Amino acid sequence: MDRQYFIDFCTGAGNEVADTLEEAMRIAEEGLAYTQQPVIIYSAGGVVARLPWFGIEPEEDEIVTSRFGSYGYYGEWIIF
């Protein structure tokens, strides 16, 4: 049975839908912007993944999905 994944950019607009979690994560990464908000992916069962936002510069050992200068960055995906 196929599941549908809802990508919430936590901005109140511009959310997307995908057929697989991998596709949802790719779409989310392509749509990242300086919003100072996390990105959350839902399925019918609830939250399945979260891309956290950090409003600081990353440390050397941090995993960075996308960086916005010295204003902040999106860290590593958390899969539930």
What are the domain boundaries of the chain? Answer: 5-79
Question: Cβ contacts of residue 15 below 8 Å, gap of 6+?
Answer: 6, 7, 8, 9
pLDDT value for 2 = 62
Mean pLDDT split into 10-residue runs, the chain, 80 residues = 85 90 97 95 95 96 96 97
What predicted TM-score, i.e. pTM, was given to this entire model? 0.91
